[in-house]
């Protein structure tokens, strides 16, 4: 879990993939002025909950999560990432 500027995780889940995933969220939070990230995250989640395509899939349909999951294995992603890259996942 990421709450700018901190990444919180259990000791048994610390690995480069999880750290990269959460670091992508930090970049998203910065470019949406932090509070914008949390507001949009909540709105996307609510929208995805009331318009279910996949039961229980609201979380995975959030554009911020789509970007992070799609690129979490690429350790160089943040070096080449364009601003507002999450927008293409809407």
Q: Tell me the pTM.
A: 0.93
75 and 19 Cβ atoms separated by less than 8 Å: no
Tokens of residue 80, six digits: 């080449």
Q: Cis before residue 5, ω within 30 degrees of 0? A: yes
pLDDT in tens, 14-63: 999 999 999 999 999 999 999 999 999 999 999 998 987 777 688 999 99
Stretch 79-88: mean pLDDT:
97
Q: Round the CA-based radius of gyration of the chain to a whole number and report it.
A: 13
Provide the pLDDT for residue 53. 77
């Amino acid at each position: 879990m990421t709450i700018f500027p901190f990444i919180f995780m259990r000791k048994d889940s610390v690995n480069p993939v999880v750290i990269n995933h959460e670091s992508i969220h930090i970049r998203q939070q910065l470019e949406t002025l932090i509070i914008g990230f949390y507001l949009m995250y909540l709105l996307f989640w609510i929208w995805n909950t009331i318009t279910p395509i996949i039961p229980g899939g609201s979380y995975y349909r959030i554009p911020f999560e789509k970007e992070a999951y799609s690129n979490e294995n690429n350790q160089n992603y943040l070096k080449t990432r364009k601003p507002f890259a999450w927008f293409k996942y809407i």
